[in-house]
Amino acid sequence: MLNFTVDADKCTRCGECAKDCLWGVIEMDGLPVVRPENEARCIECQHCLAVCKPGAVSVFGKDPADSLPLKGMFPDPAKMETLIMGRRSTRRYRKEGVDPVLIRHLLEVVSHAPTAVNRHPVTLTVVDDPAVMDRLRAEVTAEALRMLHGEGFPAGWERMADYVRGCEDGTDILFRNAPHLLVASAPEDSFAPMADCHIAMSYFELLANSHGLGTVWNGIARALLTGIVPQFRTRLGIPEDHLLACAMSFGRPAVKYHRTVQRPGCVIRRADF
């Protein structure tokens, strides 16, 4: 049930909610209305709640007063640009863990990341306890080394074998001694599981960096959990029908960077159609 309601005293009859409704669920009949036969077309985007300037529209029982106001709250472009260009792949971390309350807050904010058809299929599996992370690190490394010196890795995984071989002296190549790990997964039959997960993880990376945390996209961990030691994927509780799209190690950095780097940039071309 949409539970679509309009405060007639606040509504200005501007029609913005109806104009911005993607599937035409909302119509104007003096006041905005949603006819029962149109409810099934709603994709739950809540654009109607967000676009209503006086806060007259409510949907799904949401009170507009509980939403955050946007005016004057976006970061200025210069700071946003510096955040994007200044984030680094952190591979040196302090031993201390991040406050679980902060981790939970970051993940709740990241849940607002866009997904295909607004379905929000992404599951974020987080190791928020450093002690659990230490057990995971030790057991995954031990099993990977056992395989390396036993039956060996499957053909095509030679590069991964080199990474694991680098752990023989006790160096943590696999997780970079990070106190936390975040894994993004989504049902394989969802509209765009890989894209949805990567968008969510990109949002997490930038938000975490804005809070002074370090992050690193951990393709090694993803490869291990999907192709070398998949039993640990199960132990982490990642659903069997999910595509494990990406993983990220994070925590308090033990390194401080002082300036952006200077990249040649990607190929940019002006489309001429």
Structure tokens at 61: 């029982």
Provide the pLDDT for residue 112. Answer: 97
Report which residue type is found at 137: R
CATH number for the segment(s) 5-66: 3.30.70.20
Question: What mean pLDDT comes out for the span 37-44?
Answer: 96
Give strand ranges (E) for the chain: 5-6, 26-29, 31-34, 57-58, 123-127, 180-187, 214-217, 242-251
What mean pLDDT, rounded, does the chain reach? 97
CATH number for the segment(s) 77-251: 3.40.109.10
SS3 185: strand
Note whether 5-66 and 77-251 share their fold. Answer: no
Buried b or exposed e, range 51-82, using 16+ CB within 10 angstroms? ebeeebbbbeeeebeeeeeeeeeeeeeeeeee
| 193-210 helix and 77-86 helix, angle to the nearest 10 degrees | 110
Provide the pLDDT for residue 1. Answer: 85
Longest dimension (CA), the chain: 75
Provide the pLDDT for residue 265. Answer: 83
Provide the pLDDT for residue 105. Answer: 98
Say how many C-beta atoms besides its own lie within 10 A of residue 156's C-beta.
8
What does DSSP assign to residue 258? -
Q: Examine the pLDDT at 267 and tell me if it is beyond 90.
A: yes
Which residues on adjacent β-strands are paired with residue 187? 242
**For the chain, what are the domain ranges?**
5-66, 77-251
Query: Which tens digit of pLDDT belongs to each residue from 134-164?
Result: 999 999 999 999 999 999 998 888 899 999 9
Structure tokens at 171: 């160096």
Question: What mean pLDDT comes out for the span 202-208?
Answer: 98
